[in-house]
Structure 1
């Protein structure tokens, strides 16, 4: 049986833990060569070493908020592989957010989050664009969030940044289509990982679960199947889309 991502070269940002690590594990099982790019190099190495399958994973120390860092990652991929077939823009500030009303968010907090969650994916796509063009059939998966649709209070900078990701996806799909590059947004609903966070209470968790069609909480692996599809040749005519993975959670 041939794995659906056999011989594809894919970068996963924020791949050291949580959903990012789940992407890495699944992509390696599907035959891809995966670069696990993360500020946490030790965690990225642990994820890469633990991934099992016909593919391979290699760790790379990387700060998506740094233009030079994006260039260094592009150089590494170019020297090692000569092309890039897929990119999952997963790195984001989320678990460390202190929930507060919008008028209490400082300019420093806003700017730091936007530098990572919105400017960072744009910087990285710019840096690796020649490698994506060299593929001839590349796919970018920008990771959004259904929080952009829910209108949840407490982290306006996060929801605004993720809404921006959707706009970036749509605009880039039109700009890059002529180069054989597809761009889509994978938009998770509530997902619970090993990473502790204070952005949802138990009462909120239960309320969201009650609104879902599938009556269980989502784990990181639940996001990986759509990522594989969007990175594979099976989605060759899918671009410019935002696809939610939320167990049928109803939007307002």
Structure 2
């Protein structure tokens, strides 16, 4: 129960990796607000055991109004915000292709959600964290920028930006007692990935063969690292990106 009594906001928390992270926080004793474009309220109803420790709110993280409403919803439901997990992002719907063939509007949307979305969500919760004198922001990145994965240039670029923002924001917010770290998963068998046959065909086998741990990565494999960065176990750690990919990349 490393997060007992804490309040965590998880963007993109209705399904996939985000849903597993929400479940991990509930198991660790936290109150959780699920923020997602769709399914947040329904997911909260499924996970709450009657103790009103899980709530949900519709949120598009690329919208400043939505992220500000998200932060207000967390405060109204639980009175404070201790942890933000910036999990919402575009990946599983993308089709690998040469960079010359990536549609410009797709480029813009990936950057809006994966980069600006994390900045807006952080901007929305930081005032509450500043007033408390502490807080944790955990950005979900990716192992792809470390390995230079081809044919998904917009996605790789967006997650490289997340790694850079993690370092810069850690320095900017450290004096306020707010720690900022990132977790970078490898190719994960999330709900979205499982529904994308093109990604499965092109990436599943090559990802599996590149790992020291020879099995598929599951959403639950990411949870422990997130809880570590959200708990007192990492009280003297900030600005770091931890790659969680079964040993495909050594940092």
- For Structure 1 versus Structure 2, the TM-score category normalised by the shorter chain is over 0.9
TM-score normalized by structure 1? 0.92
Check whether the contact 1:15–1:24 (CA below 8 A) recurs between aligned residues: yes
Question: How far apart are residue 123 of structure 1 and its match?
Answer: 1.1
Q: Does 1:72 align with 2:69?
A: yes
Q: Distance in 1 between matches of 2:105 and 2:89?
A: 16
What is the correspondence of 1:94-243 to structure 2 with a 5 Å cutoff?
94-195=91-192, 196-198=195-197, 200-202=199-201, 204-243=203-242
Check whether the contact 2:147–2:249 (CA below 8 A) recurs between aligned residues: no
Unaligned runs of 5+ in 2: none
Q: Distance in 1 between matches of 2:52 and 2:242?
A: 26
TM-score normalized by structure 2? 0.93
Q: Distance in 1 between matches of 2:115 and 2:61?
A: 10
Give the length in aligned residue pairs. 248
Check whether the contact 1:185–1:242 (CA below 8 A) recurs between aligned residues: yes
Question: How far apart are residue 203 of structure 1 and its match?
Answer: 5.9
Check whether the contact 1:95–1:198 (CA below 8 A) recurs between aligned residues: no
* Corresponding residue of 1:50: 46
Question: How far apart are residue 251 of structure 1 and its match?
Answer: 6.0
Check whether the contact 1:35–1:60 (CA below 8 A) recurs between aligned residues: yes
Q: Distance in 1 between matches of 2:231 and 2:93?
A: 32
Question: How far apart are residue 50 of structure 1 and its match?
Answer: 2.9
Q: Distance in 1 between matches of 2:181 and 2:201?
A: 31
Q: Distance in 1 between matches of 2:52 and 2:237?
A: 25
